[in-house]
Structure 1
């Protein structure tokens, strides 16, 4: 199972690479943008939770996207401890260019949309069970 998950992840990343290079994004940057296209104006902590990334991984991603002028970071007016992430006009317009990526990936998978949804649900459930196990201190 470990090899199947690992090699499938590598194949998926390899599939995305040429599709995202046209957008000027890496795969992890694309994941950040997907979250922001879905919900602009999120906190860094909410983004971290949604993507299951640690701050050491997420912060450089955000900084590179900010350098590309796709997003901005601002302190929250309500709570200055929180940093909020907002898309720029360029970040919003990139979404239109990215709309063709998911259908190409779905087509390459050879799976129906229902099959892909079921696989996603199973992988999310597996991740959650593994995290629950780790948090419970069981070995």
Structure 2
């Protein structure tokens, strides 16, 4: 098979360069954020996805697996291994709901509740690493949430897939 070489960089439209891609800016920022979280979560013995699960349970204990998945934008195939690992670590329990055996309710153990106190400095440490003021971080977070909402809507609805004017 004879493939032609990719065009030279000077002939590429600027929209086809790596640095022009919004997705790459988000992806590389997420990688950098992950490095910061790994450092701060190591003392807690948590990975970043495990930390997210714990955050949701610290907000409201006793949620169903379905509710956790919706809150974290995770499917059950991704969430269940996280929950099993957290249960093996003694941080939570998974029990069938008494009123509906199809539902699994997730509750924190005492060790899981105690971990909340140890995790208290993580958000402040991460904010410091961003170099953002609290106000700028709130604005940036709101903009990312709006972007997420637009992307979710576009992925769910074919008529929203066209580029804006």
Q: Deviations over 1:105-126 (max 9, x none)?
A: 0111111111111111111111
Runs of 4+ that moved beyond 2 A: none
| TM-score normalised per structure 2 | 0.82
Match of 2:80 in 1: 59
Over aligned residues, Cα RMSD in angstroms? 0.9
Distance (Å, rounded) in 1 between the aligned partners of 2:138 and 2:59: 18
Q: Deviations over 1:47-80 (max 9, x none)?
A: 0000001111100000000000000001112222
Q: Which has the higher contact order (CA 8 A, sep 6+)?
A: 1
Aligned residues: 139
Match of 1:34 in 2: 55
Distance (Å, rounded) in 2 between the aligned partners of 1:58 and 1:108: 28
> Structure 2, unaligned stretches of length 5 or more?
1-21
Give the one of 115, 135, 139 matched to 2:136. 115
The answer to whether structure 1 residue 96 and structure 2 residue 96 are counterparts is no
In terms of Rg, which structure is larger? Answer: 2
Distance (Å, rounded) in 2 between the aligned partners of 1:106 and 1:133: 30
> Structure 1, unaligned stretches of length 5 or more?
none
| TM-score normalised per structure 1 | 0.97
